[in-house]
Structure 1
Amino acid sequence: MVLDYFNASPKEYKCIFTSGATAALKLVGEAFPWSDQSCFMYTMENHNSVLGIREYALSQGSAAFAIDIEESLDHSRGNLMSVKVSQHQIQRRNEARFFEKEPTGGAYNLFAFPSECNFSGLRFSLDLVKIIKEDSDRILEGSPFCSGRWMVLIDAAKGCATQTLDLSKHPADFVVISFYKLFGYPTGLGALIARNDAAKLLKKTYFSGGTVAASIADTDFIKRRQEIEELFEDGTTSFLSIASIRHGFKMLNSLTMPSISRHTTSLTTYVRKMLLALKHENGASVCTLYRSDNVKVVCHGWGPIISFNLRRPDNSWFGYREVEKLASLSQIQLRVRNIEWERTLGFPQTGCFCNPGACAKYLGLSHSDLLSNIEAGHVCWDDYDVVNGKPAGAVRVSFGYMSTYEDAKMAYLLWMWLLKFIDFVRTSFVSLPNQIGRYHLRERPSSFLNEGPRKLLAGGVFLKSITIYPIKSCAGFSAASWPLSSTGLQYDREWLLKSLTGDILTQKKVPEMCLISTSIDLHQGILFVESPRCKERLQINFKSNTCNGSTGEDFHIHGQRYEGRSYNNEVNIWFSQAVGQPCCLLRCSMSNYYLNNSRCVGMRRDVQSRLNFVNEAQFLLISKESVSDLNDRISSNMKNSALGVAVQVNPMRFRPNLVISGGEPYAEDGWRTLKIGDNCFTSQGGCNRCQMINLVNEGGQMQKSNEPLATLASYRRVKGKILFGILLRYETADEVEQETNSWLQVGQEIHPNSF
């Protein structure tokens, strides 16, 4: 059935089931007959899973290089299309061994390309199979690898869902597919379709119970199975999943590939035209689409993918994370995978989609840009979407098959989704005249945060509450007075929980952490911790030797290196029960945790102070008046939209250290410095809010809504951030000792200095 779908004769091809397309690619990389005369050539537009084959090639002494492919008219050959290859730098890990002998031309080389680029939707011409296999001398003229024996691998995981791949016309040696990407089910099942003669060249090392005919335990003897599928399918295949794919093929065959292709093309064309039509009030285009109809690559059309970024009226970029954050408030999920919506309707995602070559190519990122981004702390899956003024990724919308247009329900859902998506982009990112106060406000100049001089109320501004959060992401406790240290409030965020795999646990990953309550007795020097999941209250003595070992554990958070001390097994078992997964408690060491990497400037707000396990700065300050204004706006929005009873937000929803009372709403935005009692603080700017403030603990259960982030997004967006509250740094002359003699006390008057 699989071979029939690709019009591959069983006499020429075999289907090897794997755990996915990635496993199929890994199989080829592991077993390919690499030598120091071999070469792995691949197009720049390739998934990371294809690029990973490079490691096998280089480790065996082979060369590897990326190429760009262009086509042009060859007048000397009767105006036939001629393929031109632009070769990137050759990569090799053992140059000396390579130059010991001249290439003989007998080595096996591998060329890999996708049938469809998962970043741009570019469809490569499948004629590349014959061109590379039969005309490599001309295509790679001057290259030491032009006369080798070339084999071709096609990554068809994305392309074969909407484009026919006929192996009788395009006889590739290897084709990898994913059934999940083909028709949405099952997950964890893919296949390698291999030509029989090519598969026999693969050198398999490992053997398992299902791949050998006989073996002897105490001597070097095995007899491998002869059939290709039996030789390469290690262990028990997912036979239930394999049995289910016939239903997927039955559906695809009933729809027919030409119909699916026409359908997805029409959807893509519609959305593309709608996005290109969006203009700001000054006439500037809103969307930059990463596709050129004048592209000169060997192209067989475009798949149902639209990758784009959004610009402000001044031509600066909206980050894709900002798009993702606002989309979630409009009930448009950009990252959560859902089979029905991903495969049958539109599926937006953000980032580089594991295709670094295409990402760099279309975004115009040079090697120096990429290295600079990495040195600045940018890695896959992080929140740094615009680095040094350039986007580090994009937003992608892709389409797949659906039932039929005659299926009224599915057609209606699809149409409503398209309208909702286009309306979301228009209302959230398009600058229009005379609409400053509405939801779609994109940017305001920085001066909007300080609209004229702020006047204090007659009673002045006072410190209303002090909250300490000893363990990162766990509940804090309030105090009438509390000592200050060179890291902020003493003991604030001095502990954290770390999983056994090395991940730092936060409420984003483990919402139950908010149920863990804490308190500190300064006189006894004890941290008390309680959880509804644990019968006993845990006591941690600051000064007792409860930490294991004499050396600390090094790790990084937000670009800063820390040294943490771990606790004994009894403490770790308690916290593992409290959060429902194995973890360990770490305490920030007293030594060597200054931010010492200047390349991380800009990624973390406070780069001068000593910091415990905080995200950006030592303190977060929230104004009671600002929260009251926010609640008024939420109530007004609820009344206007007839959505029911408005949610009243408590200041503690924002996890502040300091809550102040008095003054006008948002007066704190304009403060440069402030003095509380005899203690001086410097503002680090506004605090960028995320979905965490939409989570609330109700009766021991975490509940999520759109508020207050949705309302804040309507009037508090500045340069891609939704700001509420300000971050502070404690100005102390004592840069060495942890403890100071200074205290904060509820009721102290606050004296700010504005910009």
Structure 2
Amino acid sequence: MAGGAAPRGAELLAFARFRESSKRPLAYGYGPRGLRELRQREFGRLAGTVYLDHAGATLFPQSQLTSFTNDLMENVYGNPHSQNISSRLTHDTVEHVRYRILAHFHTSPEDYSVIFTAGSTAALKLVAEAFPWVSPGPESPGSRFCYLTDSHTSVVGMRKVTMAMNVTSVPVRPEDMWSAETRGMDAGDPDSQLPHLFCYPAQSNFSGTRYPLSWIGEVKAGRRCPVSMPGKWFVLLDAASYVSTSPLDLSVHQADFVPLSFYKIFGFPTGLGALLVNNRVAPLLRKTYFGGGTASAYLAGEDFFIPRRSVAERFEDGTISFLDVIALKHGFDALERLTGGMENIKQHTFTLAQYTYMALSALRYPSGAPVVRIYSDSEFSSPEVQGPVINFNVLDPSGNIIGYSQVDKMASLYNIHLRTGCFCNTGACQRHLGISDEMVKKHLQAGHVCGDDVDIINGQPTGSVRISFGYMSTLEDAQAFLRFIIAMQLHQSDGQPLPRTTPGEAGAVSESEALDARLITVDTCSSSPQEDVRTASGVGDDSPSTVDAGGSHPHLSTATGTQETAPEKAAGVLHGGLGPHVITNLYLYPIKSCAAFEVTKWPLGNQGLLYDRSWMVVNHNGVCLSQKQEPRLCLIQPFIDLQQKVMVIKAKGMEPIEVPLEENEQAQFCQSKVCADRVNTYNCGEKVSSWLSRFFGRPCQLIKQSSDFQRSAKRRGKDQSAGATATLSLVNEAQYLLINRSSVLELQQQLNASDENGKEELFPMEDLISRFRANIITNGTRAFEEEKWDEISIGSLHFQVSGPCHRCQMICIDQQTGQRNQNVFQKLSESRERKVNFGVYLMHMSPDLSSPRFLSVGSQVLPVLKENAEHHDLPASD
């Protein structure tokens, strides 16, 4: 494009223009002090972060936590089932919170009771178990359990309880419910008392659609019937998503049951919910189990039990989480103080959602094709029909959907937190994405399960992307997200600049809130003395040291390795005609996610290169750290001396420290997890833990996988029986990772293209190679030819190619500095058709390790082609 103009349709909608065009009064923020001050004071931890998953969990303000902590420090709260002074204080405080909850929903103890539960899911399960279902019999067709298909998994799951009682479950589509009013009293005898239950969400957690609260009264009165059945209808309103950003008036919309999760409203505490029960219904509920605190009297040796009188005491089995209940009081206080109430939150969050929806809808490719496909039942016309949730998929210029996993990885490079998948709402996911029941089953057979990153199967999306706003969300958050979409899809490969708006256009509400519409930049590592180094070794070298198996440090240019000849393969199978493949570099990564240790010749163990990813750094909770959370791990340089049997760890500004290669008999045993696998490890001691803690500025420990622990590979080699499955170290998926220099060269040429200012952003070959953290580097003759290999031989060693390595955002981290640059991931994504595959995984094929085996630089690599081009994507190792 001449003149450096932004592609048409890529302009970011200015908030001022949106405000002028709006047909409704806009409300943004909570008064003259503005959101900026609120964010800085209460949510300072969000600096540099764009958090857009409030429908998953909103965030708590600092003052709420401080107030709650002070409360606990100043008062003694005992078990509310006791009668002492501290227990009475707890009991009275809890009762006060119950009143506060009911007042928040504009009702009183005369009309509703509050039953505390472990969350909205537990509240739904309680209703399913306690509802007065009538099983079918000679005189009765039995009760019906009806639920809107646009319901959370926890609602749909109630049908397993009703099935056990032989009660029929009926899924009701939203379109059928909209037209149900025409059936009116066709449901049958209005005087019948046969109980039925209809469940629906006040707000879809998938799309943000808000279903009419008027349905409550209409269903109960028989004017809108989910199915034609005689009887009395009760209504459960799933309010968990809705009440996070909107007021609910139960004095007007008197649902029989209202489940809640409080972390959706306050962010803290988690694991606490409630079931609000209409007192007119409470006497009908049946209780089969009784726990501590629910009995007025019972006998241990006889079936005699008298429940307590109040509905809360009858159904709150055991001691409730009373400290968490007390925390709710501080949540209500903070919410009211910071925002002025739920109506303000409703208006503020909807304004952000409506603006973002309009801006997203306006984005077009130069051809005029839309950039996103939004899944919605409304046009975001008002907060009465739409919540602050936007669900969508990103499209390429041809209209093909880009997998949600790809979008999520790109978003993380901009420190944007969103959610992907089906959001525990398969019904809405199927309806909006056009996924049939049969397709869901086929996707399962293909290996896709809820929560994984298998986002496209046979061209069909398995899920979508969701962003959602909370009361502390800002216009900056919305515009940062929009610029990310523009940067991801509309940044031209010919070097055109991204579209920009002027600060005046981007101004939001007042002069103090006016936004600078500059492009969002990736969040780099925080400044530290270690960050200006140009080497991972910390000893001033320009590249990692290179050693042989003996522990000496010869120059790489003199290393030759051992040339070994592989056995002949069947005629026509060898990848011939393209010249020899030779190992040019060998790397191992003794500490997971730390710097590479380059060698010229190295022994093989039964889990890969000896000591490759045998150690890992964990935080104070024992959770493994990777460069995704802590990029400075790449500045930790380990060296292994096989002769001295030690690993030396270095980093700039730190004295080197030694760690024995083998565990000490007195070492502390512990367990950890790698890629959901349990691993047995031992702690490497306080000395190295202190060293790591000083370097990172927070508590850390070094742990090593136990030598007698066998972690099985998730995928077996084709010649491996169940009893001979390959074992892994602390790698993610496979024993070895191989990359091809020709593939790196192609990527380098794309990255080194001139930018709009005529400068070149250089990515040296060795820099790019280090980002992919492979074990074996070959001098291939054609880019990505390795993905067509079925197996390889290196001397007498044979390896099966397990599949391509599906990359994550770690390739954006410069392994010499710890700095992030998203261009590498984005360019690879563009060139590889959105599946960011780079390198292939290798596994031993029936390894014979009875005698020493080595890999050497200079050894020939003889590949065998696949019979077909089927690929199995695996997550990247780190």
**Conserved in 1, the CA contact under 8 Å of 2:200 and 2:236?**
yes
**Conserved in 2, the CA contact under 8 Å of 1:529 and 1:539?**
no
Q: 1:245 to 1:497 in 2, by over 3 A?
A: closer
The match for 1:288 among 340, 361, 373 is 373
Deviation string, structure 1 residues 281-322 (Cα, Å, up to 9, x no partner): 332221111014499xxx962222210001112222111121
Q: Read off the aligned partner of 1:15 and give its amino acid letter.
A: V
Verify: 1:10 aligned to 2:10, yes or no: no
The match for 2:432 among 353, 358, 362 is 362
Distance 1:173 1:489 in 2: 61
Counterpart mapping for 1:707-746 below 5 A = 707=821, 709-714=822-827, 717=830, 718-724=832-838, 726-727=839-840, 744-746=855-857
Distance 1:672 1:628 in 2: 17
Distance 2:417 2:477 in 1: 11
The equivalent of 2:530 in structure 1 is none
**Conserved in 1, the CA contact under 8 Å of 2:794 and 2:862?**
yes
Distance 2:193 2:589 in 1: 67
**Conserved in 1, the CA contact under 8 Å of 2:585 and 2:776?**
yes
The equivalent of 1:92 in structure 2 is none
**Conserved in 1, the CA contact under 8 Å of 2:713 and 2:727?**
no
Distance 1:509 1:663 in 2: 30
The equivalent of 1:241 in structure 2 is 327
Q: 1:178 to 1:675 in 2, by over 3 A?
A: closer
What is the deviation of 1:28? 2.1
The match for 2:401 among 317, 323, 329 is 317
Counterpart mapping for 1:563-574 below 5 A = none
Deviation string, structure 1 residues 441-471 (Cα, Å, up to 9, x no partner): xxxxxxxxxxxxx999xxx985333235689
Q: Read off the aligned partner of 1:371 and give its amino acid letter.
A: K
**Conserved in 1, the CA contact under 8 Å of 2:118 and 2:272?**
yes
Q: Read off the aligned partner of 1:244 and give its amino acid letter.
A: H
The equivalent of 1:276 in structure 2 is 361
What is the deviation of 1:323? 1.1
The equivalent of 2:175 in structure 1 is 70
The match for 2:254 among 171, 175, 195 is 171
What is the deviation of 1:130? 2.7
Count residues with an aligned counterpart.
Answer: 641
Q: Read off the aligned partner of 1:381 and give its amino acid letter.
A: G
Deviation string, structure 1 residues 400-428 (Cα, Å, up to 9, x no partner): 445xxxxxxxxxx8222222211211121
Q: Read off the aligned partner of 1:70 and give its amino acid letter.
A: E
Paired residue secondary structure (2:255): coil
Q: Read off the aligned partner of 1:615 and give its amino acid letter.
A: E
Distance 2:172 2:776 in 1: 56
Verify: 1:747 aligned to 2:834, yes or no: no
Distance 1:466 1:289 in 2: 47
Distance 1:592 1:625 in 2: 27
Verify: 1:61 aligned to 2:166, yes or no: yes
Counterpart mapping for 1:241-640 below 5 A = 241-248=327-334, 250-251=336-337, 254-255=340-341, 257=343, 259-293=344-378, 301-334=385-418, 349-401=419-471, 414-430=474-490, 434-435=494-495, 463-468=583-588, 479-482=599-602, 507=626, 537=660, 539=662, 585=706, 587-588=709-710, 594=716, 612=728, 615=733, 618-621=736-739, 623=741, 626=744
More strand by share: 1
Q: Read off the aligned partner of 2:826 and give its amino acid letter.
A: A
Q: Which stretch of the first structure deviates more once superposed, 302-311 or 212-221? A: 212-221
Q: Extract unaligned runs of 5+ from structure 2.
A: 1-99, 136-141, 500-518, 520-576, 651-655, 665-672, 690-699, 720-724, 870-878
What is the deviation of 1:357? 1.3
Q: 1:67 to 1:520 in 2, by over 3 A?
A: farther
The equivalent of 2:510 in structure 1 is none
Q: 1:215 to 1:475 in 2, by over 3 A?
A: farther
Paired residue secondary structure (2:284): coil
* TM-score (ref. length: structure 1): 0.68
Paired residue secondary structure (1:302): coil
What is the deviation of 1:200? 2.3
The equivalent of 2:777 in structure 1 is 659
Distance 1:301 1:12 in 2: 27
The equivalent of 1:344 in structure 2 is none
Q: Read off the aligned partner of 2:600 and give its amino acid letter.
A: A
Paired residue secondary structure (2:442): helix
Deviation string, structure 1 residues 514-569 (Cα, Å, up to 9, x no partner): 98979697xx9x9988999999735389xxxxxxxxxxxxx9989xxx9x9x98xx
Q: Which stretch of the first structure deviates more once superposed, 124-133 or 712-721? A: 712-721
* TM-score (ref. length: structure 2): 0.59
The equivalent of 2:52 in structure 1 is none
Deviation string, structure 1 residues 333-373 (Cα, Å, up to 9, x no partner): 22xxxxxxxxxxxxxx2222221211121111111211122
**Conserved in 2, the CA contact under 8 Å of 1:483 and 1:741?**
yes
What is the deviation of 1:193? 1.3
Distance 1:610 1:307 in 2: 41
Distance 1:455 1:595 in 2: 27
What is the deviation of 1:83? 6.0
Identity %: 30
What is the deviation of 1:173? 0.6
**Conserved in 1, the CA contact under 8 Å of 2:216 and 2:255?**
yes
Distance 1:222 1:531 in 2: 66
Distance 1:422 1:742 in 2: 53
Q: Read off the aligned partner of 1:719 and give its amino acid letter.
A: E
**Conserved in 1, the CA contact under 8 Å of 2:201 and 2:211?**
yes
**Conserved in 2, the CA contact under 8 Å of 1:153 and 1:173?**
yes
Deviation string, structure 1 residues 170-212 (Cα, Å, up to 9, x no partner): 2211112233323545444432211113222222344444433
Distance 1:575 1:224 in 2: 55
Q: 1:56 to 1:632 in 2, by over 3 A?
A: closer
Q: 1:272 to 1:697 in 2, by over 3 A?
A: closer
**Conserved in 1, the CA contact under 8 Å of 2:388 and 2:468?**
yes
Q: Read off the aligned partner of 2:477 and give its amino acid letter.
A: W
Deviation string, structure 1 residues 561-607 (Cα, Å, up to 9, x no partner): x9x9x98xxx657699988599974755899973689xxxxxxxxxx
What is the deviation of 1:508? 7.3
Distance 1:589 1:276 in 2: 48
Q: 1:648 to 1:14 in 2, by over 3 A?
A: farther
Q: Extract unaligned runs of 5+ from structure 1.
A: 75-79, 88-103, 335-348, 403-412, 441-453, 542-554, 598-608
The equivalent of 2:695 in structure 1 is none
The equivalent of 1:82 in structure 2 is 182
Deviation string, structure 1 residues 641-681 (Cα, Å, up to 9, x no partner): 999x9999484453311135x789x8566885688678788
Q: Read off the aligned partner of 2:716 and give its amino acid letter.
A: Y
Q: 1:271 to 1:575 in 2, by over 3 A?
A: same
What is the deviation of 1:749? 5.8
Distance 1:418 1:84 in 2: 43
Q: Which stretch of the first structure deviates more once superposed, 220-229 or 154-163? A: 220-229
The equivalent of 2:10 in structure 1 is none
Distance 2:492 2:756 in 1: 24
Distance 1:488 1:294 in 2: 55
Verify: 1:132 aligned to 2:219, yes or no: yes
Distance 2:164 2:684 in 1: 45
What is the deviation of 1:375? 1.9
Q: 1:631 to 1:70 in 2, by over 3 A?
A: closer
The equivalent of 1:337 in structure 2 is none
Counterpart mapping for 1:15-164 below 5 A = 15-36=114-135, 37-70=142-175, 82=182, 107-135=194-222, 139-141=226-228, 146-164=229-247
